[in-house]
């Protein structure tokens, strides 16, 4: 009877963050929902208790059902029958269990049958589901497409679709096409208004669509004929009940095999316009992607957890040279660094989730009433933070999930290369996290603004200003010195005023900021709970070495060096 | 028929599946203090069968009946979280020390008072006593038909039910008119998980005794939301004869309890040679271990 929430006290810890008080109060509108909805929390303690209990159910289902099914789903995979997806048997079972438990539409408002959970406990559920099966979290986690409907669709559309999501309908976001991957401006799927049918009709092909045969899909399509860029694109809802979309094939993938990646053919498929025309890519996809990126960060952290736990179990059991391999420095160093990276990416994940919660909740409140000036300022502050933290956590956590999966296989030795242990699957599943929803390289493109505008530095100063207990002061001093290195490197690179040179060093600079931020977050966590002490000390050691290396590389780099790197076509 | 009135009989038991060193006291009785109190596993299988009936006939009502100390109200709450409509906690010092006969008498009397029942579903047996007697005895007390070892309800139509029984040597399909008592095997499907919304709502469900004991901040809730009150019945709420209750009504007397430690005898090493294997085969056949 495994419970993936109860056995992971690091998760519960993040529910107790001081900012949760404010998040819950805003989300529950000062606990005014309780009059109308008999399960709405009565006060802060009651809300946290409810999150805790519901996450316990998530942990139970994941430990006993989702994790148990992971291996057979990976072997079986989904298939296409008559133009539609048939999930693997285990996938069906997982969906049924989570649906019965009411764990779909967790973050949607009460009035659409949701649980009105903040993003923090929702992301925690994603973290848990991913640890159990990182392929399955894709299908379950696409419920956050509903957030985009909730933000931008009409009241009528919300009433039509959101209760269905809460009842368990799965979703998809149909963006990518054969010639439009990272560059979504090139999307060609046509949307034409039909006077006769009084609806938009969608025609064309989409590719690499996760859960493409889901019940409700958000489709990016060209509604303005003759246009070539993002300004001619609009967002549509496609309802599978209407018909018109068939699955041509499912991709054969390296990992996350249970999650069907579909090629879709749209033939006069009816679509309902979401929000305004031409805002599809510019506004709605950006919102959609930010939500999805946070989801991938959660998927990555869940994978880190799984990789770490499998490695610990194996390293304790595996005897070589007369002792368990966990006793050897080469192995325990790997394990300790894995744990430090796991804790670091998780603390960054929940910090980001809190920022998202703060601004999104204010945004929804603003639809109900005019915000006070301080509230508007708060909203803007958290929106800016969420905007620079989302690519940072997506980039860092997905890279760490790959590193941890690599180390996990390494610790298992030859056995890890065989299909006999879960690490082999974890290794394959992790690989996609640093690619989809924007590659790490593209996360850096988004995150570099946080470096050049000084936004990361400002937030680092906020952390720096927080009091820590005297025995942690020495760690803080290390971070202050590392921050100077970071500032120096940023200054040197930006002083050139050369965009290509900035792009060349962007990843190094973003990583430096990321290491400092994660180190501070761990330090502040340790200040609240000693359980993070080891990870904090070890992560700061690791971060220091990384930052120094990057700083040195940048210090000796000149604009003219670029010529040595450039490749000819 | 579109709706059925279903009662699930459930028991709170010490979690004997996760037994540690200190699970037994020196006198050989169970040390309840160190074992978590849980919903008897096969009673959860029984609840799942009831919930499946309700899935098919949503107008149906499921009530949990449990007998035990005050803390057994947890069983009712667990049932509510998973989809039951309500429940009754039968609790009184007068029931203390009941064996299976006295237990089924008290439960039978409570069921008589509840009245109008179509289907009573219980787990096959509880993991603390392993008697498998209470379900069948309740049926006898109420003069109802009974089907034991049920694994699946194949069909429920009007006033008749068809079930699959899991027996030692195979399966058996039985059709039976309602009302009746069913006991469900552990091989039946696991119970569904708690539902998030029901959990958030019914975590506040309390018995009167619990409300009196706790320093509740939310007292007003229980006036506004009657469904949060868990019914508690004492011996005074049901018609009983004192002679049939508790220790007095229990002919089973425990003479002594022994702590039996199962130990393997000396192990025997058999090589992979043909002669050794042959010798082993002969030995196993002679001892009727195989064949």
Specify the pLDDT at position B29: 65
Specify the pLDDT at position B226: 85
The pair of structure tokens assigned to B197 is: 């919304």
Q: CB–CB of B193 and A61 under 8 A?
A: yes
Same domain, A483 and A524: yes
Average pLDDT of chain B is 90
Q: Name which of A25, A115, A7 is nearest A63 in CA terms.
A: A7
Same domain, A114 and A182: no
Specify the pLDDT at position B217: 64
Say if A93 is an interface residue toward chain B (CB within 8 Å). Answer: no
Same domain, A89 and A110: yes
Q: Which residues of A touch B200 (CB under 8 A)?
A: 39-41, 50, 53-54, 115
Which member of B193, B200, B217 has the closest CB to residue A100? B193
Asked if residue B254 belongs to a domain, the reply is no
User: Closest Cα of chain A to B93: distance in Å?
Assistant: 32
Q: What is the CATH number for A489? A: 1.20.120.470
Query: B136: Cβ–Cβ under 8 A, 6 or more apart, which residues?
Result: B146, B148, B181, B183
Q: Is the pLDDT reported for residue B28 higher than 70?
A: no
Asked if residue B183 belongs to a domain, the reply is yes
* β-pair partners for A192: A201
Tokens 């990789």 belong to which residue? Answer: A307
Same domain, A101 and A22: yes
Q: Name which of A523, A442, A448, A510 is nearest A480 in CA terms.
A: A523
CA distance A163 to A151: 15
Say if A114 is an interface residue toward chain B (CB within 8 Å). Answer: no
Q: CB–CB of B201 and A38 under 8 A?
A: yes
The pair of structure tokens assigned to A256 is: 């996350």
Q: Which residues of A touch B192 (CB under 8 A)?
A: 97, 100-101
Asked if residue B258 belongs to a domain, the reply is no
Asked if residue A2 belongs to a domain, the reply is no
Q: Is the pLDDT reported for residue B23 higher than 80?
A: no
Q: CB–CB of A101 and B197 under 8 A?
A: no
List all residues of chain A from 272 to 301 with a beta carbon under 8 Å from chain B: none
Say if A6 is an interface residue toward chain B (CB within 8 Å). Answer: no
Is residue A293 left, alpha or beta, with left meaning phi > 0 and alpha meaning psi from -120 to 50? alpha
Q: Is the pLDDT reported for residue B262 higher than 80?
A: no
* β-pair partners for A218: A173, A237
User: Closest Cα of chain A to B84: distance in Å?
Assistant: 14
Q: Which residue of B has its CA nearest to A98?
A: B193
- Of the residues B193, B202, B219, B227, the best mutation for testing chain A's interface (the one with the most A CB atoms within 10 Å of its CB) is B193
Q: Residue B2: which pLDDT band, with cuts at 50, 70 and 90?
A: confident
Q: CB–CB of B200 and A40 under 8 A?
A: yes
Q: Residue B291: which pLDDT band, with cuts at 50, 70 and 90?
A: low
Tell me the average pLDDT across B136-152.
97
Our CA angle for A124, A130, A136, nearest 5°, is 125
HSE, CB side, 13 Å, CA atoms: give it for residue A138. Answer: 25
Q: What is the CATH number for A63? A: 1.20.140.10
Say if A36 is an interface residue toward chain B (CB within 8 Å). Answer: no
Which member of A49, A54, A97 has the closest CB to residue B196? A54
Asked if residue A411 belongs to a domain, the reply is yes
Q: CB–CB of A101 and B221 under 8 A?
A: no
Q: Name which of A160, A163, A161 is nearest A114 in CA terms.
A: A163
Q: Which residues of B touch A103 (CB under 8 A)?
A: 196
Same domain, A308 and A401: yes
Same domain, A151 and A199: no
Q: CB–CB of B199 and A57 under 8 A?
A: yes
Same domain, A56 and A140: yes
Same domain, A519 and A410: no
The last residue of one of the domains, among A256, A277, A298, is A277
The pair of structure tokens assigned to A298 is: 């959660």
Q: Which residue of B has its CA nearest to A100?
A: B195
Angle of helix A499-528 versus helix A440-452 axis, rounded to 10: 80
Say if A57 is an interface residue toward chain B (CB within 8 Å). Answer: yes
Q: CB–CB of A115 and B199 under 8 A?
A: no
DSSP secondary structure code for residue A186 in this structure? G
Q: Which residues of A touch B198 (CB under 8 A)?
A: 39, 102
Same domain, A269 and A127: no
Q: CB–CB of B200 and A53 under 8 A?
A: yes
Contact of A4 with A305, CB cutoff 8 Å: no
- Of the residues B52, B196, B205, B227, the best mutation for testing chain A's interface (the one with the most A CB atoms within 10 Å of its CB) is B196
> What is the Rg, in whole angstroms, of the alpha carbon atoms belonging to chain A?
24
Q: Which residue of A has its CA nearest to B201?
A: A39
Neighbours of A28 (CB within 10 A): 22
Which member of A39, A41, A97 has the closest CB to residue B197? A39
Q: Residue B111: which pLDDT band, with cuts at 50, 70 and 90?
A: very high
Structural domain range at position A399: 9-166+282-434
How many domains does chain B contain in total? 1
Q: Which residue of B has its CA nearest to A51?
A: B200
Does the model's pTM come out above 0.80? yes
How many domains does chain A contain in total? 3
Handedness of CA A239, A240, A242, A246 (dihedral sign): positive
Q: CB–CB of A97 and B192 under 8 A?
A: yes
Say if A448 is an interface residue toward chain B (CB within 8 Å). Answer: no
- Of the residues A3, A28, A54, A98, the best mutation for testing chain B's interface (the one with the most B CB atoms within 10 Å of its CB) is A54
Structural domain range at position B221: 5-244
* β-pair partners for A261: A210
Say if A50 is an interface residue toward chain B (CB within 8 Å). Answer: yes
User: Closest Cα of chain A to B190: distance in Å?
Assistant: 11
CA distance A226 to A221: 13
Q: Which residues of B touch A53 (CB under 8 A)?
A: 194, 199-200, 203
The pair of structure tokens assigned to B161 is: 């039910």
Same domain, A299 and A364: yes
Q: CB–CB of A100 and B203 under 8 A?
A: no
Q: CB–CB of A50 and B198 under 8 A?
A: no
Low-confidence ranges of chain A (pLDDT < 70): none
Asked if residue B256 belongs to a domain, the reply is no
Q: What is the CATH number for B84? A: 3.40.50.620
Tokens 């030995």 belong to which residue? Answer: B283
Q: Residue A80 to residues A77, A226, A255, A282: CA-CA distances in angstroms?
A: 10, 35, 18, 33
Q: Name which of B103, B112, B98, B102 is nearest B237 in CA terms.
A: B112
Asked if residue A487 belongs to a domain, the reply is yes
> What is the Rg, in whole angstroms, of the alpha carbon atoms belonging to chain B?
22
Specify the pLDDT at position B15: 87
Q: Name which of B112, B128, B129, B132 is nearest B120 in CA terms.
A: B112
Neighbours of A532 (CB within 10 A): 24
Q: Is the pLDDT reported for residue B1 higher than 80?
A: no
Q: Residue B78 to residues A2, A558, B82, B86: CA-CA distances in angstroms?
A: 19, 67, 6, 10
Same domain, A211 and A177: yes
pLDDT tens, position by position, A488-512: 999 999 999 999 999 999 999 999 9
Asked if residue A413 belongs to a domain, the reply is yes
The last residue of one of the domains, among A434, A464, A483, is A434
Contact of A116 with A27, CB cutoff 8 Å: yes
Tell me the average pLDDT across B14-20.
77
Q: CB–CB of B199 and A40 under 8 A?
A: no
Q: CB–CB of B196 and A102 under 8 A?
A: yes
Say if A66 is an interface residue toward chain B (CB within 8 Å). Answer: no
Say if A40 is an interface residue toward chain B (CB within 8 Å). Answer: yes
Q: Number of Cβ pairs closer than 8 Å across A and B?
A: 47
Same domain, A426 and A520: no
Main-chain phi, psi angles of A391, to 5 degrees: -65, -30
Asked if residue B282 belongs to a domain, the reply is no
Asked if residue A447 belongs to a domain, the reply is no
- Of the residues B200, B202, B225, the best mutation for testing chain A's interface (the one with the most A CB atoms within 10 Å of its CB) is B200
Q: Name which of B5, B205, B39 is nearest B114 in CA terms.
A: B5
Write out the residues of chain B at the interface with chain A, using a CB-CB cutoff of 8 A. 192-201, 203, 217-218, 221, 225
Q: Which residues of A touch B193 (CB under 8 A)?
A: 57, 60-61, 97, 100-101
Asked if residue B273 belongs to a domain, the reply is no
Q: Residue A403 to residues A341, A398, B17, B177: CA-CA distances in angstroms?
A: 9, 9, 39, 63
Instruction: Report ipTM (2 d.p.).
Output: 0.92
Asked if residue B271 belongs to a domain, the reply is no
Q: CB–CB of A53 and B203 under 8 A?
A: yes
Which member of B196, B201, B225 has the closest CB to residue A101? B196
Asked if residue B283 belongs to a domain, the reply is no
Contact of B229 with B204, CB cutoff 8 Å: no
The last residue of one of the domains, among A237, A256, A277, is A277
Asked if residue A3 belongs to a domain, the reply is no
């Amino acid at each position: 009877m495994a419970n993936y929430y109860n056995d992971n006290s690091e998760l519960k810890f993040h529910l107790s963050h001081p900012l949760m008080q404010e998040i819950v109060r805003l989300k529950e509108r000062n606990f005014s929902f309780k009059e109308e909805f008999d399960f709405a929390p009565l006060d802060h303690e009651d809300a946290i208790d409810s999150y805790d209990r519901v996450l316990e159910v998530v942990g139970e289902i994941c430990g006993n059902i989702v994790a148990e099914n992971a291996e057979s789903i990976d072997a079986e995979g989904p298939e296409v029958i008559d133009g539609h997806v048939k999930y693997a048997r285990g996938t069906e079972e997982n969906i049924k269990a989570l649906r019965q438990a009411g764990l779909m539409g967790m973050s949607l408002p009460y009035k659409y049958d949701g649980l009105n959970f903040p993003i923090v406990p929702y992301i925690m559920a994603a973290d848990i589901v991913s640890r159990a099966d990182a392929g399955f979290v894709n299908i379950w986690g696409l419920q956050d497409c509903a957030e985009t409907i909730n933000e931008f669709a009409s009241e009528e559309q919300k009433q039509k679709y959101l209760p269905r999501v809460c009842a368990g309908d799965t979703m998809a976001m149909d963006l990518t096409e054969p010639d439009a991957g990272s560059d979504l401006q090139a999307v060609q799927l046509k949307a034409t208004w039909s006077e006769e049918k009084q609806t938009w009709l969608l025609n064309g092909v989409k590719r690499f669509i996760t859960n493409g045969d889901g019940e409700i899909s958000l489709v990016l399509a060209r509604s303005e004929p003759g246009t070539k860029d993002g300004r001619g694109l609009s967002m549509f809802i496609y309802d599978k009940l209407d018909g018109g979309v068939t699955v041509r094939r499912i991709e054969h993938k390296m990992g996350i095999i249970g999650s069907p990646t579909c090629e879709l053919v749209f033939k006069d498929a009816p679509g309902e316009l979401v929000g305004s025309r031409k805002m599809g890519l510019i506004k709605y996809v950006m919102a959609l992607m930010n939500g999805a990126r946070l989801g991938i960060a959660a998927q990555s952290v869940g994978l880190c957890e799984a990789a770490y736990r499998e490695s610990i179990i194996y390293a304790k059991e595996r005897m070589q040279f007369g002792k368990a391999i966990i006793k050897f420095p080469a192995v325990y160093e790997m394990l300790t660094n894995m744990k430090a990276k796991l804790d670091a990416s998780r603390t960054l994940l929940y910090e980001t989730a809190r920022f998202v919660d703060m601004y999104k909740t204010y945004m929804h409140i603003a639809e109900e009433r005019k915000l006070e000036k301080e509230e508007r300022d708060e909203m803007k502050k958290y929106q800016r933070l969420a905007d620079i933290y989302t690519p940072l956590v997506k980039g860092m956590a997905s890279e760490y999930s790959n590193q941890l999966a690599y180390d996990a296989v390494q610790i298992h030795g030859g056995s890890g290369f065989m299909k006999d242990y879960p690490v082999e699957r974890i290794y394959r599943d992790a690989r996609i996290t640093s690619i989809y929803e924007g590659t790490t390289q593209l996360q850096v493109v988004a995150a570099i603004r946080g470096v050049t505008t000084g936004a990361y530095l400002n937030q680092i100063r906020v952390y720096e200003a927080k009091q820590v207990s005297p025995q942690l002061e020495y760690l803080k001093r290390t971070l202050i010195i590392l921050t100077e290195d970071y500032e120096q490197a940023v200054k040197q690179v930006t002083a050139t005023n050369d965009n290509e040179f900035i792009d060349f060093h962007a990843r190094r600079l973003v990583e430096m900021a990321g290491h400092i931020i994660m180190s501070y977050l761990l330090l502040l966590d340790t200040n609240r709970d000693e359980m993070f002490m080891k990870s904090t000390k070890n992560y700061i050691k690791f971060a220091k070495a990384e930052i120094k290396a990057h700083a040195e590389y940048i210090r000796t780099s000149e604009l003219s060096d670029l010529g040595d790197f450039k490749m000819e076509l | 028929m579109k709706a059925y009135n279903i009662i699930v009989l459930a028991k709170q038991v010490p979690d004997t599946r996760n037994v540690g060193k200190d699970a037994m006291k020196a006198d050989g009785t169970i040390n309840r203090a160190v074992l978590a109190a849980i919903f008897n596993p096969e009673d959860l299988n029984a609840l799942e069968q009831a919930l499946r009936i309700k899935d098919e006939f949503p107008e149906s009502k499921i009530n949990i009946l449990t007998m035990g100390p005050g803390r057994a109200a947890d069983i009712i709450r667990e049932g509510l979280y998973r989809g039951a409509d309500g429940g009754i906690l039968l609790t009184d010092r007068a029931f203390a020390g009941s064996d299976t006969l006295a237990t089924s008498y008290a439960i039978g009397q409570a069921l008589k008072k509840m009245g109008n029942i179509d289907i009573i579903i219980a787990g096959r047996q509880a993991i603390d006593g392993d008697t498998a007697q209470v379900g069948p005895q309740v049926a006898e007390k109420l003069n109802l038909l009974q089907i034991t070892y049920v694994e699946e309800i194949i069909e429920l139509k009007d006033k008749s039910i068809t079930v699959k029984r899991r027996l030692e040597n195979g399966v058996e399909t039985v059709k039976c008119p309602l009302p009746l008592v069913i006991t469900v095997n552990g091989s039946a499907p696991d119970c569904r998980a708690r539902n998030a919304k029901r959990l958030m709502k019914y975590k506040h469900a309390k018995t009167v005794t619990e409300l009196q004991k706790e320093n509740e901040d939310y007292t007003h809730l229980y006036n506004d939301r009657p469904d949060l009150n868990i019914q508690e019945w004492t011996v005074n709420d049901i018609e009983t004869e004192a002679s049939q209750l508790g220790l007095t009504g229990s002919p089973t007397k425990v003479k002594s309890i022994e702590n039996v430690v199962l130990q393997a005898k000396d192990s025997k090493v058999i090589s992979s040679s043909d002669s050794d294997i042959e010798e082993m085969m002969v030995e196993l056949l002679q001892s009727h271990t195989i064949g």
